[in-house]
Amino acid sequence: MDNNQKQAASGKAAADSRKRKEAPSSAVTGFKNLHQQGRESRPPARPQKRVKFQDARNIRSQPPDAALDGEGKLDLQKFLNAREFEIKALETSMQKCKTANATRVFQQVPREMRRRTASHNAKRVPKRLRDRAKREMLEDNTPTVEARKRRPRTTRARIRAENAKRLEKLAAKKKKRALEGENKDKPGKTTIHTRAPRPKIRRDTLNEPPKSKSKFNKRQVNKTWLPTHLWHAKRATMTEPTKPLWRFAIPMTPTQKSYRPTHRASGQKGTIFWDTSYMSTARIYGTARCIELVLKALGLTQASIWGNRGRKWRAGTRTWSGMVSRQQGNSRRDVGPATILWNPSPTDETAATESNTTEEKKTQRQVLIRTHPSCFLELFDELVKLAKLQTPQVHVEDLRFEVGSIELTGPGSTETLLAVLQPYHTEERHGQVFSSLIGVTNPASLPKDAVLGFSVKDPRLSYPPKRVDTTSKVSDPALLDTLTQWPVEEQVKPYGLFDRHVRFKASNLPPQKSINRRKGANIPGQEIQVTAADPPIPVIVFASRPAAGGQAQGTWTLMAPWKCILPIWYSIVHYPLSTGGNPRLGGLNEQRQIAFEQGTAWFPGDFLGTNAGVVWEMEQRTQRKKAWDRRPKGKRIEWASLDLGAGRKGEIGDGLACDFEHLFGLPKVPSPSSSSGDRSTLDVDPNAMDVDPREEAEAASKLGKPHKNTLPSLATVEQMKKTEFNALVSSADLASRPPPRSIISVNIRFVTRGVANACARIYRLPSRPSATTTVPSSEAEVPATDPVAAGVGSLPADLRDQWLQKLPSQRNGSKSFKTKTHAAPHMPRDVDHGTRKQLMAKSLLSGDPLPYPRPSAANQTDIGGGAHPLCPGEEDLIGFVTAGAYSLGEGKGTAVGAISAEKAFDTLKESGGIKEGRLCIVRNAGESVGWLARWELV
């Protein structure tokens, strides 16, 4: 080979340079790795590859003599042989071409499959491709490194390696000794079986996180892993190791691109699921009356739920979901969303008949509260405080690491759950009802807040999960009957999940090894029979509807003992959906995305009126500030030099924050988010300091919440409920107004174009100037685009009308408006040179020259093909966007935000109409152009 000759010529120089692809000369055979040596002595890859391809494409053929007999005559047998040879040659050629293609094996595995280091490690590709991968790696001279055999580079690694070596020796010695000992006293060997320790659950105090395996101890010092952590860590971006979220390592988003697939899986086809074991659960137990008092103190004061309509909820066959709140001085402050579920009492049938009797009130009952971890500590403290006030006392148990949960949404979610959860006892009513749900494609089609509590078999017994036959059951009248009747009330028993003994029993599932052994003993494909060793797993499943209502998909929530989550998880992951594919993994971002697409607020990000929301917002501010700081100076937004038109300079408030402090004139904490270029926002209105900070805020800070010592002034902002606000607006009482520092959550849809980002500013439509303040008419005629007029520092008087022109229904009006504006005169096309000259001269001589320099800011003439109205002034700022993007569901920009309740109230009252009052202008932070939008309460 010419290659070898070249090598010989280059001689020792090549060996000295030690290029990886050059073969080592005999002098450099210090390597012990024979495999490596063998690989390196092969010729370089590229010429070899070319030879390979040439060889593969070459089709063998025979000389003509093969078809003739010995004397050169035609012969039938030879003729036959020649044809057979040709057939064989062509077939081998086709085969060779197929195998010698230019792609490597790891490029052929499906998109969903992980391929980390698959190009360097044959074990990363599927088994059937492994041999080919090995061969290709050998042919391509791919460097392979076995982590085990790599020479340690850092000091730390070296120490670890030495340690490992020593430990290995020690272990070997120990093993040897154990073997000797075993041989000595084999007959008299006794083993002591101890009962597995039951986890401690103390009353009225927080629960300890579960003890992790010692191997993983160090990684869970300041956080807890979800039961599925090891699975997730390989497939999703987790929270940063040093910055856990709510003391959990939570998957943020799958590693694979998933924005559009998530949208599809959540609404059209498939299913998306989350391990929501981080959601916190608490159990309250005591007499029914005392529990009722505690719940009422949490803000469950609606008469309906304690009356006849809430009977099913109190019986334990429905859940209640909503915001819980706590008393703070004279007002109530929202804590966060919670789901509350009663445990059915064993004697429920008698109690149901004589409801509201003293008998019922005295019975011992239990309630499960499931809430978000960001507000759990706050809620738990409140619960303990309330529980201690009751006589007889009510007790609270923290079930955070006892009960885990999985959430599923999407058309395939019911099907998936049906395949995975197989009722343990066939006679259980709830189990029967659940099994009859085949054909349901939307959990929201179940009765509102329906609950099913039953026990299921270990899903590993029927692993891999079989596809549920949904075709025969669709439009089944029996299913419709079930959905309308919902026959779960009769013979309802207490849910096993409330019982710690049942939970503990279920936590001791047989090990995977024994399952495998049992499976091996079976005929392939046969399910493993349930034995006494397989405990029933108590589960509670409930369906929830999205807050937005309508056609949107509901969500299944499956609650099970913490330790049973993993086996259930594996079965869900591998369920083959009837519409194809498997359920999709979701992270926290996907949860927020789905909430956003459904137009609902997501906790805690969109709830600035709660402490958890404030903490989230502060965290976001620091993150944005960090990202902003990282950018080079020329490429980041200089907030101070933002030109809003009409002589206004600088961003309103902090551009990196939903700056409600600025809106409400609250004292600004020197947080890291306050940008240096934003001087105007920092020197707050001096009067703002006089506004006495709420005593509740002080009280809250005194209480010393363990997760946040001092809450920023933003925490004095209150969240107002939709119902309260609507009642205020519709009431004729002029005196009643929303409290001064309250916000309401809104869902914003852009009227024509525009996409909002987080922190975008929301303005109301500017009011028409009253008669006394009307600007002189001469100025009023000056169009908005004229910077000379705008530069004097006043907004045009007809700004409201300009914005209203932008409504698509009033297109006709906008045309007449456009004609007044000074668009740059365009040279008509296809004119000859003479005319061009004439036109040019005319434009120069006319008394209406183009402004120079061209207006750069705010409303450039080319936005939207005509003049764009200026942004309203700061007095019209009403709120901020907390989440915004282009919505795939709506096909246009939407956003979720919060606006000042007071200003919204005023706007609705003043403009007189809901139509105009709900119009707003949304402008992204750092941009000068706003877009018309419409807000709706959420």
Query: Which range in 91-99, 258-266, 696-704, 853-861 contacts another protein by CB under 8 A?
Result: 91-99
Region from 72-80, 370-378, 450-458, 795-803 binding another protein, contact rule CB under 8 A: 72-80
Of 77-85, 378-386, 477-485, 624-632, the segment contacting another protein by CB under 8 A is: 77-85
Among 51, 80, 170, 389, binds another protein (CB under 8 A): 80
- Let me know the angle formed at the C-alpha of 339 by 492 and 383, rounded to the nearest 5 degrees: 105
Quickly count helices (H) and strands (E) in the chain.
Answer: 35, 24
Q: Which residues pair with 542 in a beta bridge?
A: 451, 557
Q: Which residue in the set 1, 8, 94, 823 belongs to the binding site for another protein (CB under 8 A)?
A: 94
**635 contacts another protein (rule: CB under 8 A):** no
Q: Binding of another protein at residue 61 (CB under 8 A)?
A: yes
Q: Out of 18, 20, 73, 635, which residue is the one contacting another protein (CB under 8 A)?
A: 73
Q: Smallest distance from the beta carbon of 53 to another protein, in angstroms?
A: 14
Helix axes 76-99, 45-57, angle to 10 degrees: 140
In which element (H, E) is residue 695 found? helix 695-703
55 forms part of the interface with another protein (CB under 8 A)? no
**Long-range CB contacts (< 8 A, 24+ apart) of 136-144?**
136/104, 136/105, 138/39, 139/45, 139/48, 139/49, 139/52, 140/45, 140/49, 140/104, 141/21, 141/39, 141/42, 141/44, 141/45, 143/20, 144/120
Binding region for another protein (CB under 8 A) out of 55-63, 160-168, 301-309, 392-400:
55-63
Query: And the tokens for 734?
Result: 């002029």
Binder of another protein out of 93, 582, 680, 757 (CB under 8 A): 93
Within 144-203, the residues that bind another protein by CB under 8 A are none
Under rule CB under 8 A, residue 89 binds another protein: yes
Interface residue with another protein among 27, 34, 76, 102 (CB under 8 A) is 76
Minimum Å gap between C-beta 85 and another protein is 7
Q: Identify the helix (H) or strand (E) that includes residue 238.
A: strand 236-238
Whichever of 90 and 389 has its CB closer to another protein, that residue is 90
841 binds another protein (CB under 8 A): no
What is the Cβ-side half-sphere exposure of residue 756, based on CA atoms within 13 angstroms?
A: 32
Candidates 283, 209, 199; CA nearest to 246 is 209
The tokens for 20 are: 């990886």
Q: What count of residues does the chain have? A: 938
Residue 60 Cβ vs another protein, minimum distance, rounded to whole Å: 9
Residue 86 binds another protein (CB under 8 A)? yes
| d(C-alpha 656, C-alpha 759), whole Å | 7
Least distance CB 69 / another protein (angstroms)? 11
* 62 lies in the site for another protein, by CB under 8 A: yes
Measure the CA dihedral 145/151/155/159, to 10°: 100
Choose one: 73-81, 258-266, 478-486, 790-798; the region binding another protein (CB under 8 A). Answer: 73-81
| 70 counts as binding another protein under rule CB under 8 A | no
Nearer to another protein, 92 or 355 (CB): 92
Identify residues 666-695 at the interface with another protein (CB under 8 A): none
Q: Is 83 in the site for another protein (CB under 8 A)?
A: yes
CB 99 to another protein: min, Å: 14
91 vs 629 by CB, closer to another protein? 91
Q: Which of 2, 71, 490, 832 binds another protein (CB under 8 A)?
A: 71
Closest CB 70 distance from another protein, rounded Å: 12
Least Å distance between CB 95 and another protein?
Answer: 11
Contact 612, 375 (CB under 8 A): yes
For residue 879, give the nearest of 663, 688, 681 by alpha carbon: 663
**Position 849 contacts another protein (CB under 8 A):** no
Which among 60-68, 400-408, 508-516, 828-836 is the span making contact with another protein, rule CB under 8 A? 60-68
53 sits near another protein (criterion: CB under 8 A): no
Give the CA-trace dihedral at 769, 772, 778, 783, to 10 degrees.
Answer: -10
Question: Which amino acid is it at 671?
Answer: S
69 binds another protein (CB under 8 A): no
Of the residues 1, 8, 66, 703, which one makes contact with another protein according to CB under 8 A: 66
Cα dist from 787 to 284, 450, 727, whole Å: 66, 61, 44
Give the containing element (helix H, strand E) for 558.
strand 555-561
90 contributes a contact to another protein by CB under 8 A: yes
Site for another protein (CB under 8 A): which residue of 2, 34, 64, 826?
A: 64
Asked if 63 is part of the footprint of another protein (rule: CB under 8 A), the reply reads yes
**Angle at alpha carbon of residue 556, lines to 612 and 549, rounded to 5°:** 75
Is there binding between residue 792 and another protein (CB under 8 A)?
A: no
Examine residue 91 and tell whether it contacts another protein (CB under 8 A).
yes
Report the residue from 97, 689, 699, 727 that binds another protein according to the rule CB under 8 A.
97
Token pair in block for residue 109: 């595995």
3-state secondary structure of 671: coil
Segments of 331-414 assigned E as strands: 331-342, 364-371, 395-398, 403-409
Beta bridge pairs of residue 454 = 539
Contacts with another protein, residue ranges (CB under 8 A): 57, 59, 61-68, 71-77, 79-80, 82-87, 89-91, 93-94, 97
